[in-house]
Amino acid sequence: MYRNDYGLSDELKMFQDTIRKFVKNEILPVEHKLDPDAIEFPKEEIERLREKTRAMGMYQPAAPVEFGGAGLDFFANTLFMEEVSKHRQGLYNAGGGVFGYAVNPILYMGTEEQKEKYLKPCIRGEMRGCFAITEPSGGSDPARAIRTRARKTDRGWVLNGSKTWISFANQAKFVTVFVRTDDGPIGTRGEITCFIVESGTPGYTISSPIPVIRPEAPYELIFEDCLVPEAQMLGRQGGGFELLTSLLTQNRIPYAAQCVGIAQEALEMAIAYSKIRETFGKPLSDRQAIQWMLADSALEIHAARLVVYNAARCRAENKPFRIESSMAKLMASEVALNVVDRAIQIHGGMGLSKELPLERWYRELRTRRIGEGPSEVHRMVISRELLS
Ligand SMILES: Cc1cc2nc3c(=O)[nH]c(=O)nc-3n(C[C@H](O)[C@H](O)[C@H](O)COP(=O)(O)OP(=O)(O)OC[C@H]3O[C@@H](n4cnc5c(N)ncnc54)[C@H](O)[C@@H]3O)c2cc1C
């Protein structure tokens, strides 16, 4: 295998190695016993393994220490996401949830009360939230597509409208929902504000799951005269668009790192299989057609990793990173799908079997060219910068 240390310190390499071993020794044995399309680890296994991640000082790696996390910097957390995703559920449920779930946006904008009520229990693993931007009218251009409105009354804000394709809504104790707080016409850029709405609030309902290509189905959320107290506003009135763009821009980097991790794993599976599988009297690895697939995959992964690490370093060093984040998300999601596709091809029928994780990664990766901004939107963001 080619060598490149990507400028990582010895400490970061040891850290990567620790996470790699944890996935191999602790995550994979649990996952092997589950249904191939399972979307969660059994609760008792999560609790058992959380004891270990806590003892390692690695529980909630991205959360600040004062909130009970490990306080990893952004770059180290990107490396973490790449390694911890290298298993069947890894794209959807990195590490099986045993390192905790992604840190809630309340961390960045929440009041002390909101942090106490929602953020800390999320970090402790006692509850989880979901994040709702997309509406039936569209997700690529939320500034214009958001039609759900919040109207101010003496008792608080009254929400009406709906959200769609919302992941984890069934498990979430609350949703951070982005709505319009102005009276402007539909289809125009409006004043967007974020609210925290608890499950069970009168007027807030969650639909049945919407079946999609990946095992975990998202949900529709409906708000009908749903009264939300002023104290549930996250950030300032009209600050929602800034909040959602800064969160999405930042979150695309670990999202891209997960794609790189899966692509690397798929390549290694393809290399190993090509050496043991024989056709026409020779191992597949002796065929140039196969060698070229492996070479293209290695090349693309290497390039994607450099782009992702560059974006993560820019973010960690407080440099501008919007274009870098779009490049990382765009490239890593497309490369990973290509690499997994080639790995399936090299495995033949086995590649499509549920005995291996490849077919599941393929389906999950297909959603990644649309989720967190479709590829076309990222190309638009990059080209706007080039042409400006
Ligand atoms: C499984 C799944 C889980 C999801 N989870 C969540 C969630 O938790 N929370 C949430 O808020 N949303 C979630 N989403 C929604 C997701 O973010 C949106 O699907 C995505 O932003 C695209 O929006 P859209 O589907 O409305 O497509 P549209 O905005 O209607 O776009 C359709 C297509 O048009 C093309 N396109 C759009 N704009 C341009 C352009 N400027 N130039 C060229 N082509 C363009 C792209 O190919 C795009 O795929 C999820 C979606 C899925 C499928």
Are 378 and 258 in a shared domain? Answer: yes
Last residue of a domain, one of 234, 269, 294: 234
Res 1 pLDDT > 70: no
Q: How far is the CA of 375 from the centre of ligand 1 (A)?
A: 10
More confident residue, 256 or 4: 256
Q: Provide the residue range defining the domain that includes 86.
A: 10-110+118-124
Q: Is 162 in the pocket of ligand 1 (CB under 6 A)?
A: no
The mean pLDDT of the chain is 96
Q: Is 73 in the pocket of ligand 1 (CB under 6 A)?
A: no
Cα(211)–Cα(219) distance, integer angstroms:
9
Res 28 pLDDT > 80: yes
Are 202 and 79 in a shared domain? Answer: no
Residue nearest to atom 14 of ligand 1 (CA): 165
Are 292 and 358 in a shared domain? Answer: yes
Residue 3 lies in a domain: no
Q: How far is the CA of 138 from the centre of ligand 1 (A)?
A: 7
Are 70 and 135 in a shared domain? Answer: no
Residue 83's CATH number: 1.10.540.10
Res 2 pLDDT > 60: no
Cα(22)–Cα(52) distance, integer angstroms:
10
Write down the pLDDT at residue 202.
Answer: 98
Residue 5 lies in a domain: no
- Mean pLDDT, rounded, for 57-67: 94
Mark whether 372 is an active-site residue: yes
Last residue of a domain, one of 234, 267, 296: 234
Query: What digits encode the pLDDT tens for the residues 103-159?
Result: 899 999 999 999 999 999 999 999 999 999 999 999 999 999 999 999 999 999 999
Are 158 and 209 in a shared domain? Answer: yes
Q: How far is the CA of 374 from the centre of ligand 1 (A)?
A: 6
Q: Is 234 in the pocket of ligand 1 (CB under 6 A)?
A: no
Q: How confident is the model at residue 67 (pLDDT cuts 50, 70, 90)?
A: very high
Q: Kindly report the pTM of this predicted structure.
A: 0.97
Q: Which of 112, 324, 372, 376 is catalytic?
A: 372
Domain count, the chain: 3
Are 341 and 267 in a shared domain? Answer: yes
Residue 313 lies in a domain: yes
Distances (CA, A) of 7 to 11, 79, 134, 309, 314: 11, 12, 38, 10, 14
Q: How far is the CA of 134 from the centre of ligand 1 (A)?
A: 8
Distances (CA, A) of 195 to 41, 90, 108, 175, 365: 30, 30, 14, 8, 30
Q: How far is the CA of 141 from the centre of ligand 1 (A)?
A: 9
Last residue of a domain, one of 179, 212, 234: 234
Are 207 and 315 in a shared domain? Answer: no
With H, G, I as helix, E, B as strand and everything else as coil, classify residue 164.
strand
Q: Of the residues 140, 171, 241, which should be mutated to test ligand 1's pocket, given the most ligand atoms within 8 Å of the CB?
A: 140
Cα(356)–Cα(279) distance, integer angstroms:
20
Q: Is 176 in the pocket of ligand 1 (CB under 6 A)?
A: no
Q: Is 133 in the pocket of ligand 1 (CB under 6 A)?
A: yes
